[in-house]
């Protein structure tokens, strides 16, 4: 039982894909630095990092939930298709992580909370309906990535600083290229799942 519990816990942690939410959180702190031109307060850094880390993690957790069928082909070793965790456990985990992400955003400011909710909605819609649409789905993911820098400006009360928008757009474009390249790697499973990604449509 102890081994099964550790395996289950390990599977739940793997759903976070920590390196990606961590990178998103770091981009928020960089956005705060760019907006202020100095080191922000510990409060702003911690809450900014945590809110975006958790919302990014939620999107990745839900991605595994909605991508179960294609992951059986593309990534059968993932926790959900391999049976380490159940769909119910994935939904519960995503709900808890979302709640704490919203709380962290609310503790920053009302506008920060709105942006956190918007980012969550975009991530949910992408996973639920738009992942198989190809370029529109790629743009939704890239929007969320670009928003990390802009959210940094919002977190410190300077949402219109040119620097955060410049780096936000740069991050969006770079991520868009990565999304299209990732679709090319998953083309076999995506074709069977009915995806309309650019590699499926164009070869």
- pLDDT at 140 (0 to 100): 94
Burial class (CB in 10 A: 0-12, 13-18, 19+), 72: middle
Which structure tokens are listed for 71? 């992951």
Which structure tokens are listed for 195? 């995806």
Q: Does this model's pTM top 0.95?
A: no
- pLDDT at 193 (0 to 100): 61
Which structure tokens are listed for 109? 């400011």
- pLDDT at 116 (0 to 100): 96
- pLDDT at 113 (0 to 100): 97
Q: What is the largest CA-CA distance in the chain?
A: 55
- pLDDT at 99 (0 to 100): 97
CA gyration radius, the chain: 17
Helix, strand, or coil here: 130? helix
- pLDDT at 186 (0 to 100): 67
- pLDDT at 1 (0 to 100): 78
Alpha helices in the chain (DSSP H): 2-14, 19-36, 42-66, 68-74, 87-108, 110-125, 135-155, 162-185, 187-193, 198-202
- pLDDT at 200 (0 to 100): 67
Q: What separation in angstroms does the CA of 191 have from each of 115, 139, 167?
A: 33, 20, 34
- pLDDT at 167 (0 to 100): 97
- pLDDT at 184 (0 to 100): 72
- The Cα 147–Cα 167 span in angstroms is 9
DSSP 127: I
- pLDDT at 185 (0 to 100): 72
- pLDDT at 201 (0 to 100): 66
- pLDDT at 90 (0 to 100): 93
Q: List the chain pLDDT tens, one digit each, 203 residues.
A: 788 888 989 999 999 999 999 999 999 999 999 999 999 999 999 999 999 999 999 999 998 999 888 788 878 899 999 999 999 999 999 999 999 999 999 999 999 999 999 999 999 999 998 988 888 989 999 999 999 999 999 999 999 999 999 999 999 999 999 888 887 776 766 666 666 666 666 66
């Amino acid at each position: 039982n102890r081994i099964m519990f550790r395996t289950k816990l390990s599977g739940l942690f793997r759903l976070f894909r920590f390196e990606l939410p961590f990178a998103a959180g770091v981009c928020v702190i960089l956005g705060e630095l760019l907006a202020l031109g100095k080191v922000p307060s510990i409060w702003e850094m911690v809450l900014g990092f945590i809110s975006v880390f958790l919302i990014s993690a939620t999107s990745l957790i839900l991605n595994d939930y909605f991508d179960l069928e294609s992951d059986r082909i593309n990534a059968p070793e993932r926790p959900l298709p391999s049976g380490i965790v159940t769909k119910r456990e994935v939904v519960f985990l995503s709900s808890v992580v979302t709640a704490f992400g919203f709380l962290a955003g609310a503790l920053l400011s009302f506008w920060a909370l709105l942006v956190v909710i918007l980012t969550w909605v975009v991530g949910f819609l992408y996973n639920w309906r738009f992942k198989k649409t190809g370029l529109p789905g790629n743009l939704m993911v890239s929007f969320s990535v670009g928003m990390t820098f802009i959210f940094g400006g919002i977190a410190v009360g300077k949402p219109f600083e040119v620097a955060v928008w410049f780096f936000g757009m740069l991050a969006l474009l770079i991520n868009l290229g990565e999304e299209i390249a990732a679709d090319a790697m998953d083309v076999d499973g995506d074709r069977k799942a009915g995806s309309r990604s650019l590699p499926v449509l164009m070869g």
